[in-house]
Structure 1
């Protein structure tokens, strides 16, 4: 636990210092740059990039930590318009100090049409992915400085991926990405997928994906030929279709997936806000555990509350233990009610957030997944709690309690007590 707290403090301190330096630099050039240039600079920072001369440094690869790799650090980024307006190189290399292994991506893209920001991308990746995670292709265009849930993840699979993708903007409100990839999957843990009399410890997958993100009520403006969001409107919708093709380029399995997410936010007269996030997914066919669903767990399997003390996630179930549940169909609902800050002083304005989370799911053919012990979410999983944020340098505290269909016999096992970290530019 002291090691984990040290890691979190180091990451948070580095992030906080970086944000302060960035804002100081922006303040120092107020007299030298107009508001348009500053908006463009902030847009790049908000998207996770530090603009350099011909290259934008991707901040996601500087430093991270998880239970399998330990510290993960490296460099990555993408060439910018000063390098070329019609061609880009998008690559990274990182090193895990616990697994003693390099991971990398070699990629590039060709701009096919400027008015619709249409890019044809090619990439070769050798990296890790969390088992049971399901991300949307369009999400990679958005960035958060600190992803606290990553600290506790331990169930990863290695993958080598060759991919081609097409980014296309139908309108400012509708983003799309289509991809086809050939993947070699190698779980880092003891896992066997039993199918039709054969046991698979490693497997090949050839997959096609189509992802759409629709923000019908957001407002946009053009800043130096770039589209910038000036009003974040709700609701927002994201949908993604995935199809794996058996026997194409040696692929072992045939399965389909549909993933959906919608986010709604209500602004109240007293400056309070209520945010609802609904996520659902379903997989049909012969999908291995690596490509099924967990439900965003974020609780370490330790005996006491203090041993489980860590950092709360942004959209995770704080009382759900890692690798406790997997599903081939699931849905989650998260409700956050953010009260106005308590104005105790000019610098001390803590904020109370009331939270409730629910999840339900199921799995067909559970016996096919061997070597990993887990349950399904056939009953409603429920937890509620609160956060008190911005107590000190962006740090706060969170408390959550597990109840309902998956309430545990030992009272302490239903409690998650953690700290939070929130920072924004």
Structure 2
């Protein structure tokens, strides 16, 4: 498993574990459960999307596309009310504290509708052709552009954003237990109105008030954040990183976009350009609001297991064909991990020019390890909009500069500001979250628990300004060092946000050598060096082993599981590396770095630096180089999974470009060669809902000058049993070298599109994935030791058989077919090497696995 992925998993598990710690020993309280079916009286057909509520409360639910419903809640409820637009409401008496079935027939009420659509009692085979519902949705699709704010030359609005998370299904008896007495102030702060049938304990709340200014040409979206307030868990979570992570999961929903990103998946919008191919639409009813006639349109997936929505929308019957209201949910059989329930409600209001703009968006999701019972986590993101203005431009200089501006007082706005500017008041339970969590994080028992979780899940033991770890590097082994022990640590922002230090020491019992690392970093902008935007200078020294071809990082973390490798793996390097690096990131996500490295390489294991032309054929002891490097990177709109002392880029829909130039200087600090190299990388994720997504990476490089094989491009091989996205998984270490190359890597996940249609795979919720990698490269004669005896000869094995090769006219290729979402955490690939099968110790087939984290 890669280090970035491990960090993502750790942060996610820490968040989940921290929340579930409070819900230990959760039990489900005595409840009233009502199930049944809602039926259209005249036709005896199921009636989807009818409302069922306990009268006098906000606890309720809606019937699904088959008319079925389940309503569960704790309380002394004796009645339920069933209603649907265009039908007479019915009240039914129930027995509290029991489970019972209530099936209801609703009769049309002509007084509620200005017009009623009469549906045939005979269900015909569904067709798009000559279907009035499909004709209506095609009109909605064709008018999408004019119904978006982007159609105006200028537009502005105010946005209020509220995100809250709660522990769900808490029993009222939990707070009475002796072990939880000290947490009574927190456990008694329940909300029983937000989610029907659930008792919620709010533990996280975030609010943001901002003004948005849009310009069509050139395209600009200027955001001014007026206020920003959120729960702070203290040292255990990075508040900014946690906010980005949660907002990423609960992304804003644009119904007019073709794809809607939720959790870690893309859903095809019911009004996407291709939506009629994947959805079925049914006319439900019509009504008049003011002077506007609306048509109700139900929609369901053609295949209930695809990443699609089901729900109902109301569309205006005017020249706009705009969505006036839409409710979205997902079928329980969808291949979505841990999500018990997902609902989205969007409301639109008419502007002065007749267009409809989004006025409110509610996204609700209930998570749980068990989809039917037990404790879980409930999250809700509510966005509301007001003060829409169109075609009122700001002065041209206003739109320049940073796209997002945070006012200096945004994070310190007083309670009076929020009381005056919230679009909706907080519930009683929500209003107590800020003070409750402040009290919680000061409790010694909570701090001890979080410190234990940090060590178990993140591998670090904190001692305030310094922490020891990571634990997964304490022990490993390899053919050169044998049994290897390592201990290290780093300072934290608690010691200083300006100065940082990191170190480790390791000892190999076979080679009986000490290895160590030491670095010091100065933050120029006085921010954590792990937070965006970075601006720091770092100096470091590292003495350690490495496998040729693997990039030497500041700290090359060992991992016990990665100690297991296939085939021959005895050609290593000892490295002494002095480095100094300057890194500068900008708010527009352009960054550059400048560095200098003095690198001394010595062969280890069976590797030798040996020249064919040497008279005594004696190997050279070391190779020293001194090089300067410059790297530029542009990652527009990039976001990060952010921790206190690490960050991992989030793969989004924007491309990432990297260009690196390196120059070796002969004679500088014993540098032995003059050379130059240029490397370019471009990567992008392409979404093709509902067929999943592809990650495509293009890379190329060129080396100018004459250099021995350790300074050539040693292509990234992988001899572990873990699948690595950026390596060739059936290539051997040191197998191929080049001084010029180009490569392409395509990894596509179908997200269960095909497996969901196979009964066994659908039950297991497996997801299919495929990949293809091709590498074209070559070696000029000046860098070929066979024509230049002064260069180090390519490595050979114990029998003198060549171990390292160059690529011919045919590119190296490998492909794989994989099954993802195995046990919800793993992807297993069957990898096939397609050519160069005559090289020694080649594995034409292999099974590789890696951990993933998807919803």
TM tier relative to shorter chain: 0.7 to 0.9
Matches of 2:828 and 2:640, distance apart in 1: 35
* Distance change >3 Å, CA 68–CA 20, structure 1 → 2: farther
Matched, 1:323 2:734: yes
Q: Which residue of 1 aligns with 2:377?
A: none
Matches of 2:763 and 2:468, distance apart in 1: 32
Q: Is the 8 A contact 1:215 1:233 kept in 2?
A: no
Q: Which residue of 1 aligns with 2:147?
A: none
Q: How do 1:37-116 residues align onto structure 2 when only pairs under 5 Å count?
A: 37=232, 40=238, 43=241, 50=460, 52=462, 53-57=464-468, 59=470, 61-70=473-482, 72-114=484-526
Q: Which residue of 2 aligns with 1:167?
A: 583
* Distance change >3 Å, CA 117–CA 248, structure 1 → 2: same
Q: Which residue of 1 aligns with 2:816?
A: 385
Please identify, of 141-150 and 24-33, the stretch whose mean Cα deviation from structure 2 is larger: 141-150
Alignment TM-score, normalising by the size of structure 2: 0.41
Q: Which residue of 2 aligns with 1:304?
A: none
SS, match of residue 730 in structure 2 = strand
Q: Residues 265-309 of structure 1, C-alpha deviation per residue, up to 9 Å, x if partnerless?
A: 111211511111122222222333222223222358xxxxxxxxx
Matches of 2:669 and 2:630, distance apart in 1: 20
Q: Which residue of 2 aligns with 1:182?
A: 598
Q: 1:133 aligns with which of 544, 550, 554?
A: 550
Q: 1:370 aligns with which of 793, 799, 808?
A: 793
Matched, 1:27 2:20: yes
Matches of 1:409 and 1:196, distance apart in 2: 26
Q: Which residue of 2 aligns with 1:4?
A: none
Unaligned runs of 5+ in 1: 1-7, 301-309
Q: Which residue of 1 aligns with 2:673?
A: 253
SS, match of residue 113 in structure 1 = coil
SS, match of residue 834 in structure 2 = strand
Matched, 1:419 2:835: no
How many angstroms does 1:165 deviate by?
Answer: 1.6
Q: Which residue of 1 aligns with 2:692?
A: 272
Q: 1:283 aligns with which of 703, 707, 710?
A: 703
Q: Is the 8 A contact 2:516 2:544 kept in 1?
A: yes
Q: How do 1:198-217 residues align onto structure 2 when only pairs under 5 Å count?
A: 200-217=620-637
Matches of 1:105 and 1:28, distance apart in 2: 37
Matched, 1:192 2:613: no
Matched, 1:403 2:814: no
Q: 2:725 aligns with which of 295, 314, 319?
A: 314
How many angstroms does 1:392 deviate by?
Answer: 4.0
What is the RMSD computed on CA atoms of the aligned residues? 4.2
Q: 2:777 aligns with which of 334, 341, 361?
A: 361
How many angstroms does 1:335 deviate by?
Answer: 0.9
* Distance change >3 Å, CA 81–CA 147, structure 1 → 2: same
Please identify, of 257-266 and 385-394, the stretch whose mean Cα deviation from structure 2 is larger: 385-394
Q: Is the 8 A contact 1:193 1:201 kept in 2?
A: no
SS, match of residue 171 in structure 1 = coil
How many angstroms does 1:354 deviate by?
Answer: 0.8
Matched, 1:339 2:759: no
* Distance change >3 Å, CA 95–CA 18, structure 1 → 2: farther
How many angstroms does 1:389 deviate by?
Answer: 2.7
How many angstroms does 1:361 deviate by?
Answer: 0.8
Please identify, of 63-72 and 235-244, the stretch whose mean Cα deviation from structure 2 is larger: 63-72
* Distance change >3 Å, CA 220–CA 263, structure 1 → 2: same
Matches of 1:197 and 1:273, distance apart in 2: 54
How many angstroms does 1:336 deviate by?
Answer: 0.9
* Distance change >3 Å, CA 391–CA 144, structure 1 → 2: farther
Q: Which residue of 2 aligns with 1:307?
A: none
SS, match of residue 25 in structure 1 = helix
SS, match of residue 714 in structure 2 = coil
Q: How many residue pairs were aligned?
A: 397
* Distance change >3 Å, CA 100–CA 262, structure 1 → 2: farther
* Distance change >3 Å, CA 184–CA 415, structure 1 → 2: closer
Please identify, of 116-125 and 71-80, the stretch whose mean Cα deviation from structure 2 is larger: 71-80
* Distance change >3 Å, CA 272–CA 349, structure 1 → 2: same
Q: Is the 8 A contact 2:837 2:844 kept in 1?
A: no
How many angstroms does 1:202 deviate by?
Answer: 1.0
* Distance change >3 Å, CA 203–CA 118, structure 1 → 2: same
* Distance change >3 Å, CA 57–CA 278, structure 1 → 2: farther
Q: Which residue of 1 aligns with 2:536?
A: 119
Q: Residues 92-112 of structure 1, C-alpha deviation per residue, up to 9 Å, x if partnerless?
A: 223345444332111112222
How many angstroms does 1:346 deviate by?
Answer: 9.6
Matches of 1:324 and 1:163, distance apart in 2: 28
* Distance change >3 Å, CA 171–CA 21, structure 1 → 2: closer
Q: Which residue of 1 aligns with 2:717?
A: 297
Q: Residues 189-233 of structure 1, C-alpha deviation per residue, up to 9 Å, x if partnerless?
A: 442364998974412211112222211142579999x99967734
* Distance change >3 Å, CA 295–CA 150, structure 1 → 2: farther
Matches of 1:348 and 1:211, distance apart in 2: 45
* Distance change >3 Å, CA 251–CA 72, structure 1 → 2: same
* Distance change >3 Å, CA 312–CA 327, structure 1 → 2: same
* Distance change >3 Å, CA 191–CA 36, structure 1 → 2: farther
Matches of 1:381 and 1:284, distance apart in 2: 23
Q: Residues 343-366 of structure 1, C-alpha deviation per residue, up to 9 Å, x if partnerless?
A: 668994222211111011112322
How many angstroms does 1:28 deviate by?
Answer: 2.6
